[in-house]
């Protein structure tokens, strides 16, 4: 891929990691059209830029959580975030090699199907029955935190959207759209940190061989990710996820149309 292609992939990663339209889905499609195949390891490495974007955006909230744990002995939010991270963390660790090599996780057909399914749920979400209202992520019970974790695990399937699946589940479990988004992003940090640790421990050769490419991709992902998370937090304070559902269905239709005429 060209230098421009890698900037484009970094921008797509940052924008779609937080806006609930599926970063993995968009990147699988983009890589297939740009290079003819999906490179899962490249996607894991440019996860670093989006992780740093989250840390920068939520740095005050993160410090508050640390102070709560170390000085105030308030562990409930940290406990919930950990519980939400466990299902995807276990599956991602155990099945990492399978995910990297499986055609299923690089399939455009799978992406189109999941874009459609989750898109429909987003459109009808506000009309679905919901559990009793919950003030914020700290107020979630253990079962509710684990259910959001299961949704985060399902998002390993490309086209699903980690932020989309966890925000949807958070809404169904009683969180407001904005609080569901904040909790979703905070709960993604341990997963992102785990992916980063994994690639640094096991895939250093890829970093050395592609350092310039990965640096450019991560810078693009950081900048676009910072803009995207700020936009979504503002948007969900007044709007639902429906517009993203319609976008997902439209994109899936375009993908299927292109595949049919090839």
Q: For residues 229 and 18, give the distance between their C-alpha atoms in angstroms, rounded to a whole number.
A: 6
pLDDT digits (tens, 9 = 90+) for 164-200: 999 999 999 999 999 999 999 999 999 899 888 888 8
What is the DSSP-derived secondary structure letter of residue 255? H
Q: For residues 33 and 259, give the distance between their C-alpha atoms in angstroms, rounded to a whole number.
A: 11
Q: For residues 196 and 201, give the distance between their C-alpha atoms in angstroms, rounded to a whole number.
A: 9
Closest CA to 191 of 137, 140, 138, 148: 148
The token pair at 112 is 């189109």
Mean pLDDT of 229-249: 94
Q: Are 121 and 57 in contact (CB under 8 A)?
A: no
62 burial via Cβ count (<10 Å: 0-12, 13-18, 19+): middle
Tell me which residue has tokens 């994109």: 251
Tell me which residue has tokens 């996860």: 47
What pLDDT is attached to residue 37?
61
Handedness of CA 184, 90, 113, 10 (dihedral sign): positive
Q: For residues 164 and 118, give the distance between their C-alpha atoms in angstroms, rounded to a whole number.
A: 8
pTM of the predicted model as reported, rounded to 2 decimal places: 0.90
- Residue 254's CB is within 10 A of a number of other CB atoms, namely 12
Integer CA distances (angstroms), 83 to 114, 134, 178, 191, in order: 25, 17, 20, 11
Q: For residues 4 and 187, give the distance between their C-alpha atoms in angstroms, rounded to a whole number.
A: 32
pLDDT digits (tens, 9 = 90+) for 140-152: 999 999 999 999 9
Q: For residues 212 and 209, give the distance between their C-alpha atoms in angstroms, rounded to a whole number.
A: 9
Integer CA distances (angstroms), 129 to 93, 132, 141, 173, 245, in order: 34, 10, 18, 9, 18
| Between residues 57 and 31, the one the model is more confident about | 57
Side-chain half-sphere CA neighbours of 75 within 13 A: 6
Of 16-25, 134-143, 184-193, the poorest mean pLDDT is in 16-25
| Between residues 241 and 32, the one the model is more confident about | 241
Mean pLDDT of 51-77: 93
What pLDDT is attached to residue 205?
86
Residue 104 has pLDDT above 90, yes or no: no
Residue 2 has pLDDT above 90, yes or no: no
What pLDDT is attached to residue 38?
62
What is the DSSP-derived secondary structure letter of residue 131? P
Q: For residues 248 and 118, give the distance between their C-alpha atoms in angstroms, rounded to a whole number.
A: 8
H-run or E-run covering 100: helix 96-101
Integer CA distances (angstroms), 7 to 49, 121, 212, 251, in order: 12, 32, 11, 21
């Amino acid at each position: 891929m060209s230098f421009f292609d890698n900037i484009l992939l970094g921008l797509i990663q940052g924008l779609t990691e937080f806006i609930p339209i599926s970063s993995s889905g968009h990147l699988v499609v983009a890589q297939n059209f740009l290079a003819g195949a999906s490179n899962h390891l490249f996607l894991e490495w440019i996860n670093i830029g989006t992780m740093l974007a989250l840390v920068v955006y939520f740095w005050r909230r993160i410090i508050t959580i640390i102070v709560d744990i170390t000085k105030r002995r308030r562990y409930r939010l940290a406990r919930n975030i950990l519980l939400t991270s466990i299902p995807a963390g276990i599956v991602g660790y155990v099945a990492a090699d399978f995910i990297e090599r499986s055609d299923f996780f690089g399939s455009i057909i799978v992406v189109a199907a999941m874009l459609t399914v989750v898109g429909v749920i987003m459109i009808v979400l506000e009309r679905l029955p919901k559990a009793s209202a919950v003030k914020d992520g700290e107020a979630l019970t253990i079962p509710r935190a684990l259910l959001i974790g299961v949704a985060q695990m399902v998002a390993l399937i490309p086209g699903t959207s980690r932020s989309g699946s966890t925000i949807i589940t958070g809404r169904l479990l009683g969180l407001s759209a904005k609080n569901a988004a904040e909790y979703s992003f905070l709960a993604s940090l341990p997963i992102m940190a785990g992916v980063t640790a994994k690639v640094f421990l096991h895939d250093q050769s890829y970093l050395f061989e592609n350092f310039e490419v990965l640096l450019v991709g991560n810078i693009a992902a950081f900048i676009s990710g910072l803009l995207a998370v700020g936009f979504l937090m503002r948007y969900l304070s007044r709007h639902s996820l429906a517009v993203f559902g319609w976008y997902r269905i439209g994109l899936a239709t375009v993908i299927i149309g292109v595949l049919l005429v090839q």
